[in-house]
Structure 1
């Protein structure tokens, strides 16, 4: 399913929803392959000496968990890779164009700490090109953090909602409600929203922020987490179809992002984390394939009737076993092969978001 570049026109393949591994592009904006079509998510990582797109040590908005260079990562090759689609070229992220194009807009990332990862990348991409950086302000209010680029009246926000659906405090304790989504009244007021969830669904014990799951009228101590994940996504999808005004708001859902703790996934069975990884996997295929959660997500998105756009970054991120903070994260040197260094892979997610947006505007 998807939109493809083909000649001068954009042809819809599959259902009438912008859910795709590619996207609709005007001729010449991103480029065309020899056959006149391009899936921007099919490609490989190549070294580009003009990368990274900014100096992360000069960006004050990076949390220490993601600030790999400041916390001693010795290698820098991981910063030099760009994503190269097989049949076309992506436009380089142009921060000044982004600021002009989206002047007066509100853009919100919604989800778990990987959304925070991507939000901080976007903030740094824009911070690097603003002439008067004293006119950039940040404020936080509960789950919402906002960076305002004052001279452009542009707000880049992140809303912490790891499950998208609600956790409520009741007499029995904290209840994860698979059919409740109350923060949507805040989310739908924005011009562009980018959703994500997955990281917290398998957390248990002290790391689990709920005591019970409510599924319809049933309250359970636990249930199959993949089933719960799907039910929550269906709640989100119903909310999108019935509550979001697509004349005002563009909706994106970013694909599941991988962790790299098990070398068997990339044919190195003796490897148990990402600590010594300094280069991506070559080629365009991840040996173990997509995780089950990706199939669940894509299945739910295929049933959305409104034009939700899919940032299909799972495979390209799987290839980047070198992109994590590992022990260079500023948090007790704990091994982190789940989040991503900034600068790094999240910049490419935002580059793909930018390419999609400019192709439509």
Structure 2
């Protein structure tokens, strides 16, 4: 009996031992398999997202009913232009009363320069939200990895944008009548539904709130001609979605102005200086010259140099005005001219004067040791087809053009070559001194937008204009809202990310 009990007890011990071995084996295998699984992940714990979708390729189909057939760009046989009578005159028909300093007024004077007949009509049709055509009503996509080591903001494509412009002609009161294309009766609105998309990086849309916060207690100066004014109005319209600026200053001719954003103590100054150099200009309110421009190539314009040190950010531009008939002075002596009225003078050409002034400008900037950020905006193109403004040229396109279809007009090309050469010389010297000198190159993105100009709609409902009024297409300035708004997208990106 003792033997039987001993045998049974021994058998139980063997069973328990076998069960223990079985559980131990299962546990060891489970632990080993889990350990193997974790090691597969731990070999590469910081896998980066590499998704980088290509920009949308847009094959633009021309609308044969609204696009000029057999349109030609400014021809290769173009010669130096004599611009004595310019339809885009800078002086207004309404001459303001004397008085330069303006008190802060929640409803400041907003009639900039020239007011076309009928533009203030109470029957004007305003468009609050332009509608997109079906061809551009597609969702936008965003790059999953927008920040890259290098970013060429100026090479890219225009892609459809369902969101449309950041403002309308109802939400902004700062646009002048000549750029208010929708109010003036432009029938199409598809040109409003595109955005600029650089090819190797993402360009965020302009963030008005962020920009105003960054510019708190800062000052901006935009120095140049009517295209500069066009640019400033675009910026004011975008920022007005957050806070409406108050006009606090204007000169007697309403050409130079200053605006304040009270909540941010942020000011934007528009400084009228079409040559950037000292000049005597003899034009009436219609842009008709009674005498050649007297241009002093070795003297910068004190209109902007006197306030240079008080501006934290500046953007300079020039170009088109150098095409005007002018006498050139150096050391207070007539040195030569362009389109010389006096045949005994030396014909130097507009490029000579343009280069001299830019050299003087950049030497001034580099020697100033200014600690802020300074931009030079390169020349923007016009889009006259089948002629120029003075001989029947027009711009009637309604969509962006394909790359390579529209060449840079010859005169713009000559101005641009000088600008890029002189800027490259200056930026080397500026970088050696640690200065922030930047090039805002809007040529390529603007060249692809022949649809963005007022054209006939610089006039209020041109089809109803009196036959005695000479109708001239404006293929130089830009509709607001319109493609010029993208210039501010670029500007903000360059300010925020260098």
TM-score above 0.5, yes or no:
yes
Alignment partner of 1:150 out of 243, 262, 272: 262
Aligned equivalents of 1:87, 1:314: Cα separation in 2? 18
In the alignment, which residue of structure 2 is the partner of 1:177?
A: 296
Q: Structure 1 or 2: larger helix share?
A: 2
In the alignment, which residue of structure 1 is the partner of 2:398?
A: 278
Q: Structure 1 or 2: larger strand share?
A: 1
Alignment partner of 1:339 out of 477, 482, 488: 477
1:168, distance to aligned residue in structure 2 (A): 4.3
Aligned equivalents of 1:110, 1:29: Cα separation in 2? 37
In the alignment, which residue of structure 2 is the partner of 1:139?
A: 249
1:208-219 correspondence runs (5 A): 212-216=327-331, 218-219=333-334
Deviation per CA, 1:123-160: give whole Å up to 9, x if none: 00001222xx4x73343124520111111111111101
Aligned equivalents of 1:188, 1:115: Cα separation in 2? 20
In the alignment, which residue of structure 1 is the partner of 2:341?
A: none
Aligned equivalents of 1:256, 1:64: Cα separation in 2? 23
Aligned equivalents of 2:249, 2:458: Cα separation in 1? 23
Aligned equivalents of 1:295, 1:169: Cα separation in 2? 26
Q: Which runs of 5+ in 1 are unaligned?
A: 1-6, 8-27, 205-210, 266-270
Aligned equivalents of 1:107, 1:203: Cα separation in 2? 29
Q: Number of paired residues?
A: 313
| Structure 1 residues 286 and 297, CA gap change in structure 2 (3 angstroms) | farther
Taking structure 1 as the reference length, what is the TM-score of the superposition? 0.80
- CA contact under 8 A between 1:78 and 1:323: conserved in structure 2? yes
Structure 1 stretch 195-204 or stretch 156-165: which is displaced more? Answer: 195-204
Deviation per CA, 1:160-208: give whole Å up to 9, x if none: 10000011489x986210110133121332010011001211124xxxx
Q: Which runs of 4+ in 1 moved over 2 A?
A: 135-139, 141-144, 172-175, 215-218, 220-223, 262-265, 285-290, 330-334
In the alignment, which residue of structure 2 is the partner of 1:330?
A: 459
1:74, distance to aligned residue in structure 2 (A): 0.9
Aligned equivalents of 2:327, 2:366: Cα separation in 1? 28
In the alignment, which residue of structure 2 is the partner of 1:226?
A: 351
In the alignment, which residue of structure 1 is the partner of 2:146?
A: 31
RCO higher in structure (CA 8 A, sep ≥6): 1
| Structure 1 residues 259 and 108, CA gap change in structure 2 (3 angstroms) | same
Q: Does 1:119 align with 2:232?
A: yes
| Structure 1 residue matching 2:249: 3-state secondary structure | strand
Q: Which runs of 5+ in 2 are unaligned?
A: 1-47, 49-142, 283-290, 339-347, 431-435, 461-468
- CA contact under 8 A between 1:230 and 1:297: conserved in structure 2? yes
1:215, distance to aligned residue in structure 2 (A): 3.3
In the alignment, which residue of structure 1 is the partner of 2:136?
A: none
Q: Does 1:93 align with 2:206?
A: yes
In the alignment, which residue of structure 2 is the partner of 1:294?
A: 416
- CA contact under 8 A between 1:56 and 1:342: conserved in structure 2? yes
- CA contact under 8 A between 1:257 and 1:313: conserved in structure 2? yes
In the alignment, which residue of structure 2 is the partner of 1:128?
A: 241
Aligned equivalents of 1:67, 1:169: Cα separation in 2? 28
Aligned equivalents of 1:263, 1:85: Cα separation in 2? 31
In the alignment, which residue of structure 2 is the partner of 1:242?
A: 367
In the alignment, which residue of structure 2 is the partner of 1:187?
A: 308
In the alignment, which residue of structure 2 is the partner of 1:268?
A: none
Taking structure 2 as the reference length, what is the TM-score of the superposition? 0.59
1:347, distance to aligned residue in structure 2 (A): 0.8
Q: Name the Cα RMSD after superposition.
A: 2.7
| Structure 2 residue matching 1:212: 3-state secondary structure | strand
